[in-house]
Structure 1
Amino acid sequence: MNVTFLLKRAHRKWARRGACALLIGLAAPSAHAQNTATLRGTVADSASGQPLAGVSVGLQGQPGGTATDALGNFRLGGLPTGSYTLRVGALGYRAQSVPVTLAAGETQRLSLRVAATTLNLAEVTVSQPRDPNQSLAAISHIDQALRPINSAQDLLRLVPGLFIAQHAGGGKAEQIFLRGFDCDHGTDFAVSIDGLPVNMVSHAHGQGYADFHFVIPETVEQLKVYKGPYTARFGDFATAGAGEFTTKTRLERSQAKLEVGQFDTYRALVLLDLLGAGRHLLSKRPESAYVAAEYNFTNAYFDAPQHFKRFNGLAKYTGQLSERTSLTLLGSHFTSNWDASGQIPERAVRDGRISRYGSIDPTEGGRTGRTNASVILSTALPHDAVLRQQAYYSKYDFGLFSNFTFFLRDSVNGDEIEQTDDRHLFGYTATYERADQFGARSLHSTLGVGTRNDFSTLGLFRATRRQITATTTTGRLFEQNLNAYLDETLDLTDRLTVNAALRADFFTFDFRGQLADEATGQLEPLRGRVRHARVSPKLNLYYQLTPAVQLFARSGLGFHSNDARGVIRDATANVLPRALGYELGSTFKPLPSLVVNAALWSLHLQDELVYVGDEGITESTGPTQRYGLDVALRYQLGRRLFLDGDFNYNHGRQLQAEAGANYIPLAPTFTSTGGLTYKAPRGLSGSLRYRHIDSRPANDDGSIRARGYFLLDAVLSYTTPRFQFGASAENLLNVAWNQAQFATQSRLPGEAAEGVDELHFTPGTPFYAKLNASVFF
């Protein structure tokens, strides 16, 4: 027989077999779809009709599950036919069990409404199927429901392990400490509210400056906490972590509140529901609108009255334009001005020159303001996709008078400086989210793009008693960030989930201005444009060991940007220092009413940058390494009694410095917060809380140490359907503690020209009591 004939016959035989195999493979998904069913639905708040995002949805006794998207929609696909019990739950809402029966090839649709209820930790789930990188979700939700919130500072303290310090009156952004970082005012912690970035790039006072005082605490509904550089949604500044705050979509009721406290402290608040519960416009679709306003005044506890004044106003509308589209409009305005006592040297108090609450330069102080506008459009698209688009604008103003060294530079007029920032911020973000089902496996994909554009006039001036005497640097800033990311979350098995992502950032730094020559004092041109890009991959694994135990391993690259003036001034400057982080941990429930989150982590920073505000320059301390252990626990002792505690150990060192001179100044080594809370929907509620941070080196060699402290605070309230009365007390034990602390070389009148290098501090609040009363209508 002809060999060629045999080869041709074999080829035709295998071709037919291959075609059959291909047809079977192509038909398999269709056959699978015909033998399985799909369950779709929407979850909304029973009181308002507003869709709820992030609600856990799953089948009782079945692995896996999902969560509702931004429009309250969910989908469970590839389900074998049969009868099930659908479980729907969210913290603070009454869990629902809904029986469903699914036929082959059926797509069943449900419309569910859940009602708010008292907190029950037994219903908390430790799995986070839609946003797996938010491993602190359960902890954060519990804290928001239980912890008393009286100020914007209290909002930041909701981040487990985060400490803050104020050192220039009540109007300056707080100094932030987290995971062994002195983040200054936000260099390594990204903050946002309703999608608006809070951190300011190339700010007059410090890189990443995050002034959160424009937020009215009673309007905040949700906080999402992300520690480490593991989440692609965040770029600049998100090395130690990120905090996403969201204001309420609706008010349960209108409220008028008045607070009165020691040290001439007054606060008035109004929250006004504009549409009324259950009202709809002609569209007959769920919608809400409200306005909020607050006014604060205090002279504070310093010897010199602080004359602190702050006004906040907010208006927000949320509505369903159609069954597939929702719209959110937001506008806010904030203004503040104050006098400050500033940081003082220990020797001035020790020698009796001033008291703990005195000042060396009583002309310090500042002013700031911010106006925001934002529009968010969320649209449900085919194939279980959601498109979210946001455009925003902020007008920002800032002026700060400070004196860190007193008379070190100028022994006659003093070393006071003024920093100014007049800024316009434009931004746009868009995310396309899609959920796909491959048999029993689900894939959640997110594609995001965005741009941020800062236009600012910056200035640094020498001053005497708030009168400008000389210019150090001034000019116009343009800084742009273009970014895009792809984030994929795939259920590899019923228990194992992988999250992989890639983020790309492209920066343009442009500064046109002048800089004073150090030798002559003459102004010289400082101009230039620098472009730089950064790619940041992320890889995270999650394993659901049992329904009560989730394990995770996370890793990722991140960065924080340099100040534009430093980049233009020094061609060798590190533009976007990289951060490498990784951690192992678990969220678990050893008891039904006990939730624990623990993580062993490490973070390497390519270049630790410190902005020197009084010189307008950036200093590099080189690469650093940190590692630590975070433990957070929340325990429900009884129906209304709750116990919580956060314990954070951090170890950090400079890598290129000699042993013994390689400490990271002000980096905390151990912090802890916790408390006991009695929470009732009506009647009496109360909380007793503590804060502790240990002593730590304030300079490279540890010869100067920042002093630790332990504080107790308490809150009591009595609530009825129409009224609420309350009292709060900070520093119950009246401890003399240092809030902000720095190792600084300064000179006082009569001292030698070289001055003295020692600890400078801002005293913390002594015993401080406030009363409040609210009317609900």
Structure 2
Amino acid sequence: MKFILFQAGLICLVLNVAWAQGTVSGTITDSRNVPLSDVSIFIEALHKRTVSDKIGRFVLRNIPSGTYDLSVSSVGFKSQQQPVTVNNGQTTPVQVKLEQGELVLADVVITDQFSREVNTISQVDIKLRPVNTSQDILRMIPGLFIAQHAGGGKAEQIFLRGFDIDHGTDINLEVDGLPVNMVSHAHGQGYSDLHFLIPEIVGTVDFNKGPYYADKGNFTTAGYASFQTKNALEQNMIKVEGGRFGTFRNVNAINVLNTQNGDWRSNAYVASEYFRTDGFFESDQHFNRLNLVGKCNAYRGDKEALTIGLSTFNSRWDASGQIPTRAVDDGSITRFGSIDPTEGGETSRSNAWIRYINTSLNGGIFENQLYFSKYDFNLVSNFTFFLNDPVNGDQITQSESRNIYGYKGSYVIESNPGNKNLRSEVGAGFRYDDVNNIHLYHTRSRKQFINDVARGDLDETNLYAFVNETLFINDRLSLNAAVRLDHFTFNYVDALTPDYARQSVSKAMVSPKLNISYHASQRVNLFVKSGIGFHSNDTRVVVAQRGEEILPKAYGLDAGANFKLGDKLLLSTALWMLDLDQEFVYVGDEGVVEPSGKTRRKGIDLSLRYQALPWLYIDSDVNITDPKAKGAPEGEDHIPLAPTLTSIGGLSVKLRNGLNASLRYRYLGDRPANEDNSVVAQGYFLLDAVVKYTRKSYELSFSAENLLNEAWNEAQFDTESRLQNEVDPVSEIHFTPGTPFFFKVGMSFFF
């Protein structure tokens, strides 16, 4: 009986303590009443902090009775501080509206790794760094380098964390929740063309490195990047730019709706981009690109949000292709010449998507998104010239027509068991790729058909589900544990065989994650991340291998910290390691399957953001990597084209009179071009600059690339080829020259 009375008394004491505490709850919007996510809200006196969710809501629980200063800050907005009074057992409502402001690093709050939707560094960079092209958007990811090697219209070759990612095999890319990576693509697995993204309407760039995130699946080995377009335009804009090499660009972004109807408020805008250039090659590339985008949003308080997006994109170009070093050295061609000037291509993509977010009575958030993409691709290349066919040459054409259907859904709920905050997320979805007439064939002069190499139809389905649990053990320590299940079905019908036969393979993958974050103070956060990820292989590889070793795993480990030193300096650093299992890769250019062995990459990343003066900012990223093939003899274990040392950074000036300027550098060190490092891909150091003068109704801009006019090689490959006048083939560096000194001027009008 005494024991029962003791238990009852203990329960009453716990309930009394809980009742003696209160809650602060509210919403954050901007001046246009658009909800703001990832806004920092904290009570410094209690070391209590949180961030706003996807629809601008926040909750601070277990607040002792009293009056406190509530601080609210977000990068690029004016910070606010207001008193709040908390009463026992009650919820104090707060409504905060933030106004646009200057970039002040003092407003940046270091939080734990699991609270934010968007990486803190990227929030700073999107406000700090000049963005003129979709390539600049990719460079927002610290340590990521790109190379273009087919006339500007082809997807960029990507380098990150010791990976030559090719066109997207080991990085997961999304725009507004739509997948960018193309599975089982005609040109290569994971092919990611971001040229349908208009940089002026990008609102946030979220990125993280490694395979540690349960909501990110296929291709998330080196990391992921998620781009979100703006939910509303600050103002209408018309921009016109022109520059060297026949370059012209026009961007328009116009608000077409801003209404209030009862509890619902709505806004919508349309945007367009037209770009053309002849390029700096001796053979004009005649590049043309057109983008059209429309986006509509509707909100009902902090209860519901509906977004509908439509876009279409088309581009076509001629290309000079990669050229052999020997042809330049002997004077046969110049650096900007070509062996086969009939290369080129065309591609198009149209997207439609709808996202609906609503809240449950217990405060949970349901998010559902449906999407559809129509994609067409045609690429003409010649890598080996006359190696295989000394009469007609080795030109190839790759093409496909694809429909992508997809759904993704999630439910997030926060609870308070035992006065410990628990954030639970479950999600599920599917992606279905229906690819018709995926074709590789031998051509001459771009139009003449010689023979088929590979042709067929394929479809690939990815079903997935994940559970993501984050326990905030106390105000400093949090633990994240998650698991993801992916199931793939691969189907291929070879059109070059006499009889119809559908080849089909299914495979599943389980990917666990475990991450720890320790929030030492408002200025220091320590973390350890671990997890398993993967990238799928091409359907044609899968059926050829009969399902064996078709989903190679990636095993990752990161240990690092984020620091805020004083009010002006942000530092982020990580030591990391990533192992990849054996994989089989379909080489789309040759139509063959090539195996590769296990690999290990380890390195260190360092990012610095410093506000030296109210108007002067310094930023720098340094990334050192040691990439090696496991099991290969020492000295023959280099991974071709894997970067080992990269750095990017610059100085930015933002004056109150409207004058803004930026001087930026890019450095990529020499790296092995083959396994024994007997052939080296040359590095480069480049300087770029941007100057803008902005007033309320207009902006004048000047931008320049390669200020020092360096002769640099952008894309480089150790390739065996034969020229028409050669008897024997030669293996050496083939390259695409980088941009010489280039400038453009522009004028924008705001209204």
TM-score normalised according to structure 1 size: 0.94
Question: Is contact 2:516-2:529 (8 Å) kept?
Answer: yes
Q: CA deviation at 1:704?
A: 1.1
Q: Which amino acid aligns with 2:444?
A: T
Q: How many residues align?
A: 749
Q: CA deviation at 1:333?
A: 0.3
1:609-758 to 2 correspondences below 5 Å = 609-680=584-655, 682-753=657-728, 755-758=729-732
- The equivalent residue for 2:442 is 462
Larger radius of gyration: 1
Distance in 2, Cα, partners of 1:90 & 1:322: 21
1:288-437 to 2 correspondences below 5 Å = 288-321=267-300, 323-437=302-416
* 1:539 corresponds to which of 497, 514, 538: 514
DSSP-derived class of the 1:280 partner: strand
Distance in 2, Cα, partners of 1:316 & 1:413: 48
Question: Is contact 2:142-2:621 (8 Å) kept?
Answer: yes
DSSP-derived class of the 2:474 partner: coil
- The equivalent residue for 2:128 is 146
- The equivalent residue for 1:226 is 208
Distance in 2, Cα, partners of 1:770 & 1:514: 48
More displaced stretch, 467-476 vs 288-297: 467-476
Q: CA deviation at 1:25?
A: 6.1
Q: Deviations over 1:132-177 (max 9, x none)?
A: 696xx22111110011111000000010000000001111000000
Distance in 2, Cα, partners of 1:424 & 1:21: 66
Q: CA deviation at 1:284?
A: 5.5
Call closer, same or farther: CA 1:555–1:216 in 2, change over 3 Å.
same
Distance in 1, Cα, partners of 2:67 & 2:262: 37
Distance in 1, Cα, partners of 2:266 & 2:560: 40
RMSD: 1.6
Distance in 2, Cα, partners of 1:468 & 1:602: 47
Distance in 2, Cα, partners of 1:405 & 1:603: 33
- Please state if 1:476 is matched with 2:451: no
Q: CA deviation at 1:672?
A: 0.3
Q: CA deviation at 1:471?
A: 1.1
Question: Is contact 1:191-1:198 (8 Å) kept?
Answer: yes
- The equivalent residue for 1:488 is 469
Q: Deviations over 1:567-591 (max 9, x none)?
A: 1122264211000000111100223
Distance in 2, Cα, partners of 1:488 & 1:83: 32
The structure 1 segments of at least 4 consecutive aligned residues displaced by more than 6 Å after TM superposition are 522-526
Distance in 1, Cα, partners of 2:593 & 2:29: 50
- The equivalent residue for 1:242 is 224
Call closer, same or farther: CA 1:132–1:219 in 2, change over 3 Å.
closer
Distance in 1, Cα, partners of 2:238 & 2:46: 47
Question: Is contact 2:50-2:115 (8 Å) kept?
Answer: no
- The equivalent residue for 1:116 is 100
- The equivalent residue for 1:9 is none
- Please state if 1:131 is matched with 2:133: no
1:547-562 to 2 correspondences below 5 Å = 547-562=522-537
Distance in 1, Cα, partners of 2:498 & 2:559: 52
Call closer, same or farther: CA 1:155–1:49 in 2, change over 3 Å.
same
Question: Is contact 1:303-1:358 (8 Å) kept?
Answer: yes
Q: CA deviation at 1:51?
A: 1.1
DSSP-derived class of the 2:167 partner: coil
DSSP-derived class of the 1:141 partner: helix
Call closer, same or farther: CA 1:49–1:409 in 2, change over 3 Å.
same
Question: Is contact 1:621-1:654 (8 Å) kept?
Answer: no
Distance in 1, Cα, partners of 2:735 & 2:584: 22
DSSP-derived class of the 2:264 partner: coil
* 2:740 corresponds to which of 734, 746, 766: 766
Distance in 2, Cα, partners of 1:545 & 1:507: 42
Call closer, same or farther: CA 1:29–1:365 in 2, change over 3 Å.
farther
Q: CA deviation at 1:120?
A: 0.6
Distance in 2, Cα, partners of 1:551 & 1:352: 56
DSSP-derived class of the 2:46 partner: coil
1:48-87 to 2 correspondences below 5 Å = 48-87=32-71
DSSP-derived class of the 2:231 partner: coil
Distance in 2, Cα, partners of 1:565 & 1:84: 62
Q: Which runs of 5+ in 2 are unaligned?
A: none
Q: CA deviation at 1:321?
A: 4.1
More displaced stretch, 22-31 vs 369-378: 22-31
- Please state if 1:95 is matched with 2:79: yes
Q: Which amino acid aligns with 2:609?
A: R
Distance in 1, Cα, partners of 2:322 & 2:500: 33
Distance in 2, Cα, partners of 1:468 & 1:104: 80
DSSP-derived class of the 2:292 partner: strand
Call closer, same or farther: CA 1:48–1:674 in 2, change over 3 Å.
same
* 1:173 corresponds to which of 139, 155, 180: 155
- The equivalent residue for 1:518 is none
Q: Deviations over 1:719-753 (max 9, x none)?
A: 11111111111000000000000010000012124
- The equivalent residue for 1:6 is none
- The equivalent residue for 1:568 is 543
- The equivalent residue for 1:259 is 241
More displaced stretch, 212-221 vs 435-444: 435-444
Question: Is contact 2:151-2:317 (8 Å) kept?
Answer: yes
Distance in 2, Cα, partners of 1:21 & 1:374: 58
Q: CA deviation at 1:535?
A: 0.6
Distance in 1, Cα, partners of 2:181 & 2:656: 36
- The equivalent residue for 1:31 is 16
Q: Deviations over 1:661-683 (max 9, x none)?
A: 11100000000001000023652
DSSP-derived class of the 2:124 partner: helix
Distance in 2, Cα, partners of 1:167 & 1:381: 50
Distance in 1, Cα, partners of 2:2 & 2:387: 89
Q: CA deviation at 1:773?
A: 0.6
Distance in 1, Cα, partners of 2:137 & 2:566: 28
Q: CA deviation at 1:653?
A: 0.7
Q: CA deviation at 1:34?
A: 2.0
DSSP-derived class of the 1:637 partner: strand
Q: CA deviation at 1:27?
A: 5.0
Q: CA deviation at 1:214?
A: 0.3
* 2:254 corresponds to which of 272, 290, 299: 272
Q: Deviations over 1:220-239 (max 9, x none)?
A: 01011110011111110010
DSSP-derived class of the 2:152 partner: coil
- Please state if 1:197 is matched with 2:179: yes
DSSP-derived class of the 2:261 partner: coil
Q: CA deviation at 1:84?
A: 1.4
Call closer, same or farther: CA 1:17–1:611 in 2, change over 3 Å.
farther
Q: CA deviation at 1:526?
A: 6.8
DSSP-derived class of the 2:429 partner: strand
Q: Which amino acid aligns with 2:458?
A: L
Q: Which amino acid aligns with 1:464?
A: R
TM-score normalised according to structure 2 size: 0.97
Q: Deviations over 1:104-150 (max 9, x none)?
A: 1112212111111101101211114653696xx22111110011111
